[in-house]
Amino acid sequence: MTAFAARPWIWSWIAMAAVWGATVLFTGGASAAGVTHAALTFAAFSVMVGIGQMFVITLGPGNVDLSIPATMTLAGTLSLKAIDAWGGGTLVGLGVSLLVGLGVGIANFTLIRALRIPPIIATLSTSFIFQSTAIWANRGIRIKPPDALAGFSTDMTLGVPNVAWIALVLTVAAWVLLERTIFGRRVLAIGQNMRAARLAGVPVDGVRFATYILCALLASLAGFLLASFSGGAALNMGAEYLLTSIAVVVIGGSSVAGGNSNVPGIWGASLFMFLLVTMLNTYGLGAGVRLILTGLIIIAVIVAAGGRTRTR
C-alpha cells in the first residue's frame, strides 16, 4: 500500500485502464485504435485546462479558477477573429490568445488582491464579463480557422494527435515546474500554510499572481486550439470545462485542500473522464442513465482513492 500512498495518481490510471478495457472489449477489440485516438484528442484539452486549475487549487482552500470556460471562449473567439481581420495565420492567433490569457490572469488576480475576496467569487464575477465580451465580439458569426491551422489541430504526428503532443509537452513542463523549480516549491508551500510561507520569505503575492496568469494562459491556449479543432469558436465551447477542470485535478489525486498536487494524475483522470462517457455511449444508454452512471462512477473512484486524511 505504500506504493499507492506515494503515488495518489495511480487510481485514476487504474480507473482509466478499466474503462478503456470495458469499452474495447464490448466492441470485440475493433474500436481500440479509434477510441484511443479520440480519447487522446479530447483528453488533451482537459489536460491543458486541468494543469492550470491544478496550480491554482494547489494554492490552498478557496483557490479555484471559475473563469476558465469564459477565458477559453474569449480566446477562441478573439484569436480567430484576429486572424480573419489581420491575416498572418497561426502565429497571430496564438499571440492574440496568449494576450487574452495574460489580460484575464491580471484582471483575476487584481480583483482577488484589491477586493480581498475569495478567488472563487472573484473569478466567477470576471467570468461573466469575459463571457459578455465574447458574446459581443462573436456577434453570432462563426469564423472558420485557416486551413493550415484547422489541419494542424486535427492531424496526427507519429500516430498521436498533434493536440495530444502539445498537451504532453505542457505536462512535462508542468511537472518540472511543480517538482523541480523554486516556483513550484513556493506554490506548494503557500498551499500548505500561507502564513508560514510568508514568514519563511516566500513572495506570496507574486507567486499567486504568476499562478493565476499561468492558469489563464493555459485556458486561452486550450480555447484557441479547441476553436481551431472544431472549425470555429462557439459561445458555449468552454462550458463543460468548468467542472471537468476541477474533476480531473481531484480525481487525479491532487488534494482539493491544496498544498499536495501531482501532474501525472491529470492525464489519467482526463482520459478516464472521456472514456467513461464513450463507454456509456457505446453501451447505447439514454442521456439520463448515462449521466447517473457518470456521477456514480466518479463517486466510486473518489471513494476507492479516498481514505487520505484531510489536512484541515
Partner 1 sequence: MKPDSLRVLIPALSFAVLLAAVFWLQPRAMSYLGLNLLFNLAVPIALATIAQMLVIAVNDLDLSIGTFVSFVACVTATFLNDSPVLGLAIFAAAIATYALVGVLIHLRELPSIVVSLGMSFVWGGLAVLILPAPGGSAPPWIRALMTAKPPLLPMAIVASLVIAAVAHLIVMRSSFGTALRGVGGNARSVERAGWSVLKLRAATYALAGLFGVLAGVSLVGLTTAADANIALRYTLLSIAGVILGGGEFTGGRVSAIGAVIGALTLTLASSFLTFLRLSPDWQIGAQGAILIVVLAIRLVLNRQERRG
Contact flag: residue 299 with partner 1 (CB under 8 A)? yes
Residue 64 beta carbon to partner 1: minimum distance, rounded to whole angstroms: 8
- Please report where in the chains the cell 501532474 appears, as a residue: 263
d(CA 59, CA 257): 9
Residue 62 beta carbon to partner 1: minimum distance, rounded to whole angstroms: 5
x-marked contacts with partner 1 along 213-252 as a string, rule CB under 8 A: ------------------------------x--xx--xx-
Closest to partner 1 by CB, 5 vs 169, is 5
The secondary structure of 214-255, three-state, reads HHHHHHHHHHHHHHHHCCCCCCCCCCCHHHHHHHHHHHCCCC
Residue 118 beta carbon to partner 1: minimum distance, rounded to whole angstroms: 6
- Please report where in the chains the cell 474569449 appears, as a residue: 74
Contact residues for 244 (Cβ-Cβ < 8 A; gap 6+): 46, 49, 50, 270, 273
Residue 249 beta carbon to partner 1: minimum distance, rounded to whole angstroms: 9
Instruction: Give 156's strand partners.
Output: 161
Among 5, 85, 176, 292, binds partner 1 (CB under 8 A): 292
Could you tell me the three cell numbers for 126?
Answer: 470576471
Contact flag: residue 79 with partner 1 (CB under 8 A)? no
The span of 58-66, 144-152, 175-183, 206-214 binding partner 1 (CB under 8 A) equals 58-66
Identify the H or E element spanning 9: none
Query: Are 107 and 213 contacting, i.e. CB atoms less than 8 angstroms apart?
Result: no
Could you tell me the three cell numbers for 49?
Answer: 485546462
With left for phi above 0 and alpha for psi between -120 and 50, is residue 181 left, alpha or beta? beta
Residue 279 beta carbon to partner 1: minimum distance, rounded to whole angstroms: 15
Separation of CA 91 from chain center? 22
Contact flag: residue 288 with partner 1 (CB under 8 A)? yes
Query: Are 100 and 107 contacting, i.e. CB atoms less than 8 angstroms apart?
Result: no
The span of 15-23, 37-45, 72-80, 298-306 binding partner 1 (CB under 8 A) equals 298-306
Contact flag: residue 309 with partner 1 (CB under 8 A)? yes
Contact flag: residue 32 with partner 1 (CB under 8 A)? no
Residue 256 beta carbon to partner 1: minimum distance, rounded to whole angstroms: 4
The span of 18-26, 29-37, 72-80, 287-295 binding partner 1 (CB under 8 A) equals 287-295
Residues 118-122: contacts with CB under 8 Å, at least 24 apart = 118/62, 119/56, 119/62, 119/63, 119/64, 119/65, 119/212, 120/62, 120/64, 120/66
Closest to partner 1 by CB, 17 vs 135, is 135
Q: Hey, which residues between 122 and 181 contact partner 1 (CB under 8 A)?
A: 124-129, 131-133, 135-136
Could you tell me the three cell numbers for 141?
Answer: 458569426
x-marked contacts with partner 1 along 100-119 as a string, rule CB under 8 A: -----------x---xxxx-
Closest to partner 1 by CB, 40 vs 251, is 251
Q: Where do contacts with partner 1 occur on this chain (CB under 8 A)?
A: 61-62, 66, 111, 115-118, 120-121, 124-129, 131-133, 135-136, 243, 246-247, 250-251, 255-257, 286-299, 302-303, 306-310, 312
